[in-house]
């Protein structure tokens, strides 16, 4: 990982005249990719009717100068990996939630409802009722799987690789 990081940062500095990416940004990028892949494959394993995925993300973690490259690469990579497993499924170009739109407010609201389920029970923000209602149906259009432990394991593996490679 470290040699790749050095090459990437050299290209960023020399060819694009922008600063190096910190390791945290790179790890976040990989975790986001894994989460998107896991979410799509879990949906497809639970539903035979889904054929197209539209993905919307916030850009807070992507350096502004990298956004076009990031979105193109991430979409292409995700599409390739998904189509290897599910040939009849399409992943649309990943879009940013930049403007204050009804779609952004809706996604932010659902995210807030979902995240409150995973607070500690003693936290005042914890509530499970809206989450339970949202994911109560068995139509296959909504599934809930906690992939936190899997992502933590991936992050630990990447950090160990960075430590070992210097």
For 109-153, write each residue's pLDDT tens digit.
Answer: 888 888 888 888 999 988 888 888 877 765 555 666 666 777 778
Lowest mean pLDDT among 1-5, 106-110, 114-118: 1-5
pTM for this entry: 0.65
Nearest to 25 by CA among 5, 3, 40, 11: 5
CA distance 3 to 22: 14
- The first and second tokens of residue 143, run together, are 């599934």
Q: What is the pLDDT of residues 54-69, one digit of tens each?
A: 888 876 667 777 788 8
């Amino acid at each position: 990982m470290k040699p790749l990081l050095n090459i990437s940062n050299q290209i960023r500095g020399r060819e694009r005249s922008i600063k190096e990416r910190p390791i945290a940004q790179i790890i976040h990028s990989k975790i986001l990719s894994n989460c998107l892949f896991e979410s799509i494959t879990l949906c497809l394993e639970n539903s035979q009717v889904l054929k197209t995925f539209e993905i919307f993300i916030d850009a807070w973690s992507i350096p502004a100068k990298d956004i076009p490259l990031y979105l193109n690469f991430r979409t292409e990579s995700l599409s390739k990996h998904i189509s290897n497993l599910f040939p009849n499924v399409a992943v649309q170009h990943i879009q940013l939630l930049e403007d204050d739109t009804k779609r952004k407010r809706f996604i932010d609201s659902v995210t807030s409802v979902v995240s409150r389920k995973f607070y500690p029970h003693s936290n005042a923000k914890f509530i499970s009722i809206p989450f339970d209602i949202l994911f109560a149906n068995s139509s296959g259009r909504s599934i809930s799987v906690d992939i936190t432990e899997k992502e933590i394991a991936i992050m630990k593996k990447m950090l160990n690789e960075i430590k070992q490679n210097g």
